Amino acid sequence: MLKIISKAFFLIVIFFIFNFTTPVFAIESDSSLFRTDDVLKSPNTLAENQVKSTVDNTPPTKPELMDEFRKDPDVLAVYGIIPYKSKGVDAYDWWILRCDIVDSISRDGGLDDYLYPNRGAIIGYGPFEGGYILVSVYDKDRNNVTSQDLDEMRSVFEKYATERGVSNLPIVFKCSDMGTYPEPDPEPPKPIPEFGVFISILIFAGLSGLISMKKQK
């Protein structure tokens, strides 16, 4: 039984090595496709590079969007001003700030009374590319949303924005169907340090099994 278990561990290690690592011959075969220093980087380093790429490529904000929203018949209300933030760090910081405001409101339940199907018509809210926060209103309940409701919801956003030193937070209330609610901007990639530990455990187990097999021969 021990011999069978040892062989199983050894086969698992071989499987992971060939499926999750880049062979040396592949690196040497085409230097334009692979770089040795990139392959040898730790998961944390790779994640840092991904985050840096996300920051550097964050598009600039678009203040002119607010005027376009005011002409949209599906938009119930437009508040605030989109500040201009240039591509890169400035736009990324503005995105992170909006994410923080939205996350805090969600954690605190600041808009729970306005959510569908509780007692309201809000089916989602979040930061969007361009520099604003979109609040999506269930289209079938649009007539049940009053101007007082909109002002009260805006006050919730403004409260959290003011705590972070932001005034005139750009907020757009727009009607949407349940199946067409747009996805908010994605979060930056995160490192996966546990993967390296998992591979190390498998390699150790496989080597131990191989040694055990040799001793039994």
The pLDDT value recorded for residue 187 is: 52
Amino acid at 18: F
User: Using 50, 70 and 90 to split pLDDT, how confident is the model at 42?
Assistant: low
Handedness of CA 192, 198, 204, 210 (dihedral sign): negative
Query: Is 206 in a helix, a strand, or coil?
Result: helix
* Nearest alpha-carbon partner for 191 in 61, 37, 51: 51
- When pLDDT is averaged across residues 194-200 and rounded to a whole number, the result is 43
Structure tokens at 56: 């550097």
The pLDDT value recorded for residue 78 is: 98
Which sequence spans correspond to the domains of the chain?
2-40+190-216, 58-180
User: Using 50, 70 and 90 to split pLDDT, how confident is the model at 27?
Assistant: very low
17/101 Cα distance (integer angstroms): 43
Averaged pLDDT of the chain = 75
* Nearest alpha-carbon partner for 158 in 176, 182, 133, 175: 133
User: Using 50, 70 and 90 to split pLDDT, how confident is the model at 54?
Assistant: confident
CA distances in angstroms from 44 to 37, 80, 190, 198, 203, listed in the order given: 14, 39, 9, 15, 20
Q: How does pLDDT run across 69-85, given as a tens digit for each residue? A: 999 999 999 999 999 99
Q: How does pLDDT run across 139-191, given as a tens digit for each residue? A: 999 999 999 999 999 999 999 999 999 999 999 999 998 755 455 555 544 44
The whole-angstrom distance between residue 201's C-alpha and the CA centroid of its chain comes to 30
